[in-house]
Structure 1
């Protein structure tokens, strides 16, 4: 039996780490100490204007944790999705596949929300729940049979478990000796917020172009001081690496012209609301998601192509699975950092993440080319799916994270 009052240290205050911290305190309250360590906690999180798609299952989790109602007024539901496949020079982009956005009565399959709104709500909820927030980095650790000693800037903490949520270049993963399998894509993802003349009506659009997918994701409109409404969308623009530098260095008018070629005219006049930023795209997965008294979470465990918009949702799925594993173990009197407990987390996540990684890698390779026979086959496949309602419902539920197989309780909207 695990007799000591347990302590969990989480290194990394991103959305996955914060969600895990809140889930643990929400379930066990005074029965567990949770310490969140990240230098970024010094900064105001509300300034982060990056936009994320929160799938329906993740929204159910955030609802169960008491966070969603705070951010819902700023969230934009995705009401439907349109998929096209064409060349950049094609005068018309025919629609090959459409999805209606509801997975249940009045429940969209996803919402768009800015990172700042969601991070700010999670930080406030963690503080209110009693999570210890330390604005400093974890510098290292020393794992022992019965505990792990975590080195901070102002001393050491002993814990039952260290959770490494410190990103794709995780130093803690490296220190734990956990291998990393990865390969780069010859692409970068350009992200920006766009204002446009007409209402997007909650529609998401994904154009498959030879250089990579170009996604238009609806954001909540903003009411201006004069009473007018600013319509906004987020773009995720995948482009070959050899052209990215020229695009980012181009004159703003030239950047806008390139954007218009991809964005189209369906939403009227467009403009950059935020400066476009580029991030190199790659695939990566840890050889193990656990080590001796350490568990990997989010990007520290896996990185996938953004073609399906599932990066954040995989991280929140990790948080739900790890929280459930830890809470169930402690209620049974087990050591939450023990190898048998951590193996349960590994089993819960390995197959799902591997399958999602294979799918996104395959989709990117299938659609990011201009080989005519391949284009004909994939367009035929999209058209067939569009004519099969049952298969479309399956895909939309998968995108929403509403899988029947071994779904953690939080993602079903149930408490721990």
Structure 2
């Protein structure tokens, strides 16, 4: 997988794209570029053995239907379909499920749209493996693992990066897919705007007695939201937000005490629960790059925008970046344009920056509105959700939004 000559263009450039970041968005972009006949070098800070780990660690992703379509277009879905859990319904509650005083605010059913289901849950280990295997099989992709970039330099026709190992690589376009602390973004001199929430997400997976029926739950609790997302079998993924100090204390507890804290928040609607896989925490913040492009450089995923997980749209937004960038550069390539020129990259930025800023603002507003127990706010938000729930047309629009079917879709997401 780490053959430095694989997929190389034999001229003064090592590849058409250098992609910094080997998580999910970076490999997806390399595969999308390969479909357009473009070569990529993917620089991954983690060793391949870490990416290939087969054990279930509790991490999973909610893929919107548009993201599933993209994986299918990249040739990945056939190997993932039997491992993915369809999301048939989403239920939003202002409080704990099963509590008689709780207002069930919203109910979204995939049957209300023609393209059902609205999405799928896929475990991280399966998605990582599918991306690695596809990169390995492509003659257009060079995967350098266990490497980091220490500097980048742009000239009128190319961009060059220097690795920590001392090696230099050059390409026509540099893409930062290296997360919220993106070195690619910082080295390009792009500043970021954002703030912390004083919340930390606790992430785990649970096994439970009763079947979930493919129903995803979003519970709004005073310390922060709690998402219960269905996995294959009688298992669910949990993303649970608490105030920072409380989250640190909870995560330090032994398993039995951790579950004692979770059960009252979770309720008993799925019967008894137990942990399945590891436990993780990550601090919650909002961070937006002030620009998504610079000279011969573009940002995708969390490198461009990191937002609150309240809507479960982080990976979907990143994959939409990838699909949009692939769309822009592929169409430019066909027209004989320099796909890394400022004019071409500006098309990508204008396509994605407004959408991601709007999504970030919406998640920020919902978190602030719901992460409290103010009785007046609770009355207002419950009335608002009831009005949406009673309006079929509006509810259908929300379902299509959750499925990623609204707005201008890139080629890879059109199905």
TM-score normalised to structure 1 length? 0.92
Q: 1:354 to 1:313 in 2, by over 3 A?
A: same
Instruction: Quote the Cα distance in structure 1 between the aligned partners of 2:414 and 2:46.
Output: 30
Counterpart of 1:132 (choices 127, 133, 142) is: 142
Instruction: Quote the Cα distance in structure 2 between the aligned partners of 1:275 and 1:312.
Output: 20
Please tell me the root mean square deviation across aligned C-alpha atoms, in Å: 1.8
Answer yes or no: is 1:272 the counterpart of 2:272. Answer: no
Alpha-carbon distance, 1:336 to partner: 1.8
Residue 197 of structure 1 corresponds to which residue in structure 2?
Answer: 209
Instruction: Quote the Cα distance in structure 2 between the aligned partners of 1:232 and 1:88.
Output: 17
Deviations 1:254-278 (A, max 9, x none): 2111111011111111011123221
Residue 216 of structure 1 corresponds to which residue in structure 2?
Answer: 228
- Name stretches of at least 5 consecutive residues in structure 1 with no aligned partner: 222-230
Alpha-carbon distance, 1:106 to partner: 6.2
Instruction: Quote the Cα distance in structure 2 between the aligned partners of 1:338 and 1:106.
Output: 37
Residue 413 of structure 2 corresponds to which residue in structure 1?
Answer: 411
**Does the CA-based 8 Å contact 2:97-2:266 persist in structure 1?**
no
Instruction: Quote the Cα distance in structure 1 between the aligned partners of 2:194 and 2:20.
Output: 22
Counterpart of 1:113 (choices 104, 116, 122) is: 122
Answer yes or no: is 1:24 the counterpart of 2:33. Answer: yes
Q: Secondary structure at the match of 1:253?
A: helix
Q: Secondary structure at the match of 1:189?
A: strand
Alpha-carbon distance, 1:57 to partner: 0.4
Instruction: Quote the Cα distance in structure 2 between the aligned partners of 1:212 and 1:239.
Output: 6
**Does the CA-based 8 Å contact 1:109-1:400 persist in structure 2?**
yes
Deviations 1:83-125 (A, max 9, x none): 1113799664332211102464462111001111011111111
Residue 65 of structure 2 corresponds to which residue in structure 1?
Answer: 56
Answer yes or no: is 1:35 the counterpart of 2:41. Answer: yes
Residue 224 of structure 1 corresponds to which residue in structure 2?
Answer: none
**Does the CA-based 8 Å contact 1:71-1:117 persist in structure 2?**
yes
Q: Secondary structure at the match of 1:9?
A: strand
Q: Secondary structure at the match of 1:186?
A: strand
Instruction: Quote the Cα distance in structure 1 between the aligned partners of 2:47 and 2:129.
Output: 10
Counterpart of 1:254 (choices 254, 257, 269) is: 257
- Name stretches of at least 5 consecutive residues in structure 2 with no aligned partner: 1-10
Residue 333 of structure 1 corresponds to which residue in structure 2?
Answer: 336
Instruction: Quote the Cα distance in structure 2 between the aligned partners of 1:288 and 1:154.
Output: 29
Matches within 5 A, 1:239-318: 239-318=242-321
Count of equivalent residues: 398
Matches within 5 A, 1:48-87: 49-86=58-95
Alpha-carbon distance, 1:145 to partner: 1.2
Structure 1's consecutive aligned runs of 4 or more residues displaced over 3 angstroms after TM superposition are 3-6, 45-49, 87-92, 102-106
Matches within 5 A, 1:126-205: 126-130=135-139, 131-135=141-145, 136-152=147-163, 153-205=165-217
Alpha-carbon distance, 1:184 to partner: 0.2
**Does the CA-based 8 Å contact 2:103-2:382 persist in structure 1?**
no
Matches within 5 A, 1:369-388: 369-388=372-391
Q: Secondary structure at the match of 2:70?
A: helix
